[in-house]
Structure 1
Amino acid sequence: MNKFIILICISIIGCKKNETPISVYSKTKPVKETIIDSLKHPWSMAFLSEDEVLVSEKDRDLLRVNLSSKKKKIIKGFPGDLTDSIRTVWRGDNSGIFEVLLHPDFKTNNQLYISYAAKKQGKGSATKVIRAILQNDSLTDIKTILEAGPFTREYFHYGGGMTFGSDGKLYITMGERLFREIDEPEIPIAQDLKDKRGKIYRLNYDGSVPDDNPDFGDGAVPGVFATGIRAAQGITIDPKTGNIWFTEHGTRQGDEVNQLKAGANYGWPIITTGGYRSRDYVPPTITDAIYTDPVWYWPHTVAPTGLLFYTGEEFPEWKNDLLVPGLSKGSLWRFNIENDTIKSAEELFIDDRVRSRKIAQSPKGKLYMLTDEDNGKIVRIKNNTLQN
């Protein structure tokens, strides 16, 4: 089966709301070039300049990496409550350092935000977000922005994705942390407004709650912007429209691409586009609940992660398209979007698969991808068409 036919088959079984998606096969020929290797399951990268980036590793360190000289330097001063990864003995451990995000005014204030799995003696771990100042390759003036307890011994679905909106607010994804649906309490975690997990938050730069956040009623967790989240990692802004999009992991299939709406309930675990890991699980009925459909979902497992709207010049055909990497199938998806509707989809690198954690763009528009491996890499994605 040739590549064109494979793309058609895959795109037809990907689904979007109200209409059948159109498969595309672009003339652009992207190729991969490894720039940096020997990273320990890298999760996120933030550009300090065209050549220097901060890279977070799930396995322990926050690094300053020079893409030209290949030199790496560990950032000192990370909080001492970072979890001790047990991935060496259990590959299912999802803990570590997650997103690193520069403050919009980083050039003047040196502030950045970091999400990670924090530990508490005898209780397990929880997702935590801090703000700090980067000074002389050390973190100083550390302040907790959000801590999504309770601390548990579940090592899954931390969330931790972050982005800034055009409204000047910080948006944070928070996973529900459970592995099996059968362990859900009577009111499922992602539906419980008193539980910090399974939500998306909208906060001011200092961690306070904006006055214009949705009102979820008495007793609701402060800062919640949307509910019904299982395991959202990637979140990004469309610079053309200002709308925010995020990816969502299903269990047995049901991975999604969603657009974030104020006060929306994305349904987990009451509704899902896939199945349940606990096959005998029957979700409760929540009276008067209104659920928001995904913009796109895959019936096969993709495990979509850190997404990006492409605004560079190297791939003219991709301008303003949404790029979504995946862990499970290890490829890269390109979605063409018009009026917040996905018009076409293309799966890239189907013959060169690797667990792909994050897609990022440099200040000058170069495209990079992080691979989630023991020997993790920063990969440059180049337009081979321009070189032929």
Structure 2
Amino acid sequence: MNTSIFVLFLMVTVCTKIEKPSEVLQTKTRPTKEIVIDSLKHPWSIAFLSEDEVLVSEKDGDLVKVNLISKEKRMIKGFPRDLTDSIRVITGGDNSGIFEVLLDPDFGNNKYVYLSYAAKRKGEGSTTKVVRAVLKKDSLTSIKTLLEAGPFTREYFHYGGGMTFGPDGKLYITIGERLYKEIDEPEMPIAQDITDKRGKIYRINPDGSIPDDNPDFGAIAVPGVYAIGIRAAQGITTHPETGEIWFSEHGTRQGDEVNMLKSGANYGWPIITTGGYRSKDYYPPKIEGAVFTDPIWYWQHTVAPTGLLFYTGDEFPEWKNDLLVPGLSRGSLWRFRIENKTIKSAEELFTDDRIRSRKIAQSPEGKLYLLTDEPNGKILRIKNNQ
């Protein structure tokens, strides 16, 4: 039996908590990878200024403007000075640097760019920060802080930093809980503590103010919280037709997930998990009255899912409106067919050519691109070699 098909068969037979996919997808198209540009420092996100010109955030570098035709790269000036040091400088850091770069839906008129990154404070450590800036030529100007997810701590893990705009015009942001081991959780776990900014998903207005119709977590809850119980969510995206928001979540020992965002939901971490705990002696507390939301999908092996996308292009007709999810750990790309908010079938792509994959993105004309998470990071074009 083909190895990739066997892995998928095993996966769908052991995922018993969630409705099993009715079939394993086998595409008739022949996707191939083509290197567009390399020499990027762990690229994290990409935003299309036009079909041929993009902004790319480097986790271990800068915010750069890249021309996909001429291959020219230019650093964007004016990035906030509280950006953390390189991950090669911070001992034990696994995720410090620049994360998402996102254009405003009305970018053509207002030139607003939204950025998430690991911000530092002398003597205190770092935290996730989200700012809005005006892109003027090759510089950031008029920078405004929208969210600072303190406290600043010495843990350099699980910042989150994923962002998307919903059909309601609101900005949705993922913030990780920042811990590496569960044994370090306080009595009330961080992701369950409504007074702690970490381990949450936020919904804010583009100017940083809080929408009046956000869910009510109580008077003591931190402003802007939309969902809680988040461990290390990075990727977040909006379905182009339904407007539903989906996000990826990193587990510890297995337990990687794909979730659909619901107002006021509690995704359970660390009280419940589809995987295991790093700390064998950790026993989560019971929270009376808590109602948890199950994932739409979870893997029984480690994938480390990242920046996901609903495909709407024409180059791969069979993939229309399918969810594409890249992975860091196994370095593959997954395609999910969704019906009525349920994943019905799945295909793992490029099983013979694995590479740490950070973000899948689509150009204005529908071309597919993939960012690789490497010191010599690449932008790959995914083409249909039919």
Q: Would you call these one fold, judging by a TM-score over 0.5? A: yes
Inter-CA distance 91–327: structure 2 relative to 1 (3 Å threshold):
farther
Any residues of structure 2 matched to 1:99-178 within 5 Å, and which? 99-178=100-179
Structure 2: distance between partners of 1:5 and 1:360: 26
Q: Deviations over 1:325-365 (max 9, x none)?
A: 00000000000001111010000001100000000000000
Deviation at 1:14, TM superposition (A): 6.6
Report if aligned partners of 1:16, 1:295 keep a CA contact under 8 Å in 2: no
Structure 2: distance between partners of 1:103 and 1:27: 36
Deviation at 1:7, TM superposition (A): 5.1
SS at match of 1:250: coil
What letter is aligned with 2:200?
K
Structure 2: distance between partners of 1:89 and 1:226: 30
Structure 2: distance between partners of 1:54 and 1:10: 39
Structure 2: distance between partners of 1:91 and 1:151: 16
What letter is aligned with 1:262?
S
Are 1:269 and 2:270 an aligned pair? yes
Q: State the match for 2:43 in structure 1.
A: 42
Point out the more displaced range, 22-31 or 355-364: 22-31
Report if aligned partners of 2:13, 2:20 keep a CA contact under 8 Å in 1: no
What letter is aligned with 1:344?
S
Q: State the match for 2:5 in structure 1.
A: 5
What letter is aligned with 1:332?
L
Any residues of structure 2 matched to 1:1-388 within 5 Å, and which? 1-3=1-3, 5-6=5-6, 8-13=8-13, 15=15, 18-21=18-21, 22-87=23-88, 90=91, 92-385=93-386
Deviation at 1:2, TM superposition (A): 2.1
SS at match of 1:151: coil
Q: Deviations over 1:155-180 (max 9, x none)?
A: 00000000000011000000000000
For the aligned residue pairs, the C-alpha RMSD in angstroms reads 1.3
Q: Deviations over 1:195-245 (max 9, x none)?
A: 000000000010000000000011100000000000000000001100000
Report if aligned partners of 1:123, 1:151 keep a CA contact under 8 Å in 2: yes
When the two structures are aligned, how many residues end up with a matched partner? 385
Deviation at 1:3, TM superposition (A): 4.8
Inter-CA distance 219–156: structure 2 relative to 1 (3 Å threshold):
same
Structure 2: distance between partners of 1:10 and 1:120: 46
What letter is aligned with 1:346?
E
Inter-CA distance 187–363: structure 2 relative to 1 (3 Å threshold):
same
Structure 2: distance between partners of 1:4 and 1:129: 39
Structure 2: distance between partners of 1:3 and 1:182: 37
Deviation at 1:25, TM superposition (A): 1.3
SS at match of 1:190: helix
SS at match of 1:234: strand
What letter is aligned with 1:100?
V
Deviation at 1:26, TM superposition (A): 1.3
Structure 2: distance between partners of 1:46 and 1:144: 20
Inter-CA distance 321–160: structure 2 relative to 1 (3 Å threshold):
same
Report if aligned partners of 2:370, 2:380 keep a CA contact under 8 Å in 1: yes
- Unpaired runs of 5+ in structure 1? none
Structure 2: distance between partners of 1:261 and 1:14: 26
SS at match of 2:9: helix
What letter is aligned with 1:209?
I
Structure 1: distance between partners of 2:62 and 2:380: 19
Q: Deviations over 1:83-106 (max 9, x none)?
A: 002325746431000000000100
Deviation at 1:299, TM superposition (A): 1.2
